[in-house]
Amino acid sequence: MVETQKALLLVVLAVLAYPNDIFGGAYQPEFAGPLTNLTISLGRDATFTCLVKHLGGYRVGWVKSDTKAIQAIHDHVITHNKRISVSHSDHTIWNLNIKAVQVEDEGLYMCQINTDPMKSQTGMLSVVVPPDFVSEDTSSDINIGEGGQVKLTCRARGIPRPRVSWRREDGKGIIIREPAGSALNQKSHVTTQTEFYGEELKLTKISRAEMGVYLCIASNGIPPAVSKRISINVHFPPAIHVPNQLVGAPLGTDVVLECYVEASPMSINYWIKEKGMMIISSTQHVVDMIEKSPFEVRMILTIKNLQKHDVGTYLCAAKNSLGEVDSTIRLYEIPGPAKTELATWASFYDETNNKIPYGQTEMDKAENNSVYMENSLLHGSNHARLPPTLATALPTSISSEDNLILCHTLASPMLNIEFLSFPSRQAIK
C-alpha cells in the first residue's frame, strides 16, 4: 500500500514538473506566429522560422507543398538537397535554412506539427533575379553606310522581367523617323528622344550626325541594373569644306591656309603644291591636323616667311576606302608695308593661342580694326599701326561692283604704301 502511494505521488509530481513532456503535454501544441513569406535574390540564403508553443512530445516537420517533398522532420533532414538544413532553439523556434537560393527553390513551404488532426502553416519563397542580357539575341557594333537603316536589339532576362531603354552616350537625342503615311515618297515624321524604351531600336535614313555609342540599359528593380555599349559607325566618302579659297598676303609674312574634312572611316589627309609635291612639316611649312569629332578633321597649313616661289595654288586632299576628294586654295601676293616700319598687325591668325578664329563675329572685328587704322592714317594719328603680317581672304567670285570695292581697298592708305608718304617715328614724336 505504501509503495503504491509513493508511485502515484511520483507520477503526480512528474506531471506537475513536466506537463509538456508527458503524453503530449497538458496543453495542445500551437503556432505562436505566422510563417513569413520571403523574397530572396538569386544566390542569397533564405530562412523560414516556425514559432511553436507547448510542443511537448510532438514533432515539427517541413514540406515543400508544390512537390509534396518532405524537407525535414524535427532534427533530421530528409531531402537529398545539400543546401537544406534545420535548426531550433528551446523547442519553440524551428528554422528551415536554404543556402544559395536557386530559381527551382521557389514555391510554397509548409511547417507541420504531427498532431491529430495535423496542424500546419505555409510561407511563400519568391526568388528574384537581377537583369542580364541574352548575348546571342543582343546586337554588337555595327558599320552602316550613310542613308541606310539600322535595327539594334537588346534581349534581357531576369525576375521580374526587365525593362529595356536606350540612350546615347554623348547625351544627344535619338532621332526616330516614322512614316507619316502609306505613300512611299511621303515624308517621315521625325522626333528626337532623350530616352527610347523597347528591346528594339530602329534607325532609318541614318546620318553621320547619328554616329556614336548607344547604351542599352536593362533594369527590373533588383540591383544591379546592367548596360551594354553598341557603337554605330556611319561610313561615307570624304567631303572638304574650304572657308577661303582666295588668300592674299604680303611677302615676308606668315600665312595660314585651312580646310575642313569629314570622312568615315577616317581619311588620310595631306597638302599638295600645284606641281604635285606633297607638303610636310619643315622649317618653312607647319602642317597640323586637329580632330574635332570621330569624323571631322581641321587641316591647317602655315607657310612661314612668304616668298615669291610660295605663291600659287595649294590642294588639300582627303582619301579613304570609299573615295577621295581635293579642293584648291589660291595664294597670291598683295603689297605690304615698308620693312623699316616697326608696326604690328592684328590678323585672322591668333599667334598667342595658336588658333584661327572662324565665324562672322571675328570677321566683323577685323573689319572694325581696318576702319580704325584707315581713319587713323588719314588723320595722322601716331597710334596707327601698319601690318607686317596680313592674310586677306577674298571672295571666290567677284562681280563688277565688287571690282570697284576691291580696287578701293587695295588703293587705300591701309594696304598700299606706295600711295602714301609716311613720316619716320622720330618725326612723329
- Cell digits for 235? 561610313
Average pLDDT over residues 298-322: 97
What DSSP string runs through 258-286?
EEEEEEESPPEEEEEETTSPEE--SSSEE
| Separation CA 223–CA 217 (nearest Å) | 13
Question: Residue 53: what pLDDT?
Answer: 95
Indicate the average pLDDT of the chain: 79
Question: Residue 426: what pLDDT?
Answer: 35
- Cell digits for 262? 569629314
303 pLDDT higher than 70: yes
In 246-397, the DSSP E strands lie at 246-249, 255-264, 268-273, 278-279, 285-293, 296-303, 312-320, 323-333, 392-394
pLDDT tens digits, one per residue of 333-363: 998 763 423 223 333 334 334 433 333 333 3
pTM score, whole prediction: 0.66
Band of pLDDT at residue 50, cut at 50, 70 and 90? very high
Band of pLDDT at residue 406, cut at 50, 70 and 90? very low
Place of cell 620693312: 339
391 pLDDT higher than 80: no
* Mode of pairing for the β-strands spanning 38-41 and 119-133: parallel
Question: Residue 3: what pLDDT?
Answer: 59
Delimiting residues of CATH 2.60.40.10 domain(s) in the chain: 30-128, 134-180+188-236, 242-333
Band of pLDDT at residue 183, cut at 50, 70 and 90? low
Residue with more model confidence, 378 or 321? 321
Band of pLDDT at residue 194, cut at 50, 70 and 90? very high
Question: Residue 99: what pLDDT?
Answer: 98
111 pLDDT higher than 70: yes
| Separation CA 67–CA 109 (nearest Å) | 10
Q: Identify the CATH number of the domain defined by range 134-180+188-236.
A: 2.60.40.10
Band of pLDDT at residue 241, cut at 50, 70 and 90? very high
Tell which CATH architecture fits domain 30-128: Sandwich (2.60)
Residues 6+ apart with CB under 8 A from 324: 237, 238, 267, 317, 318
- Cell digits for 364? 566683323
Question: Residue 262: what pLDDT?
Answer: 98
CB of 176 within 8 A of CB of 185?
no
Taking alpha carbons only, the member of 170, 163, 172 closest to residue 226 is 163
- Cell digits for 216? 542599352
DSSP H or E segment with residue 121:
strand 119-133
Average pLDDT over residues 314-325: 97
pLDDT tens digits, one per residue of 22-39: 444 568 999 999 999 999
Question: Residue 275: what pLDDT?
Answer: 77
Band of pLDDT at residue 186, cut at 50, 70 and 90? low
Taking alpha carbons only, the member of 48, 50, 58 closest to residue 34 is 50
Q: Identify the CATH number of the domain defined by range 242-333.
A: 2.60.40.10
Question: Residue 130: what pLDDT?
Answer: 96
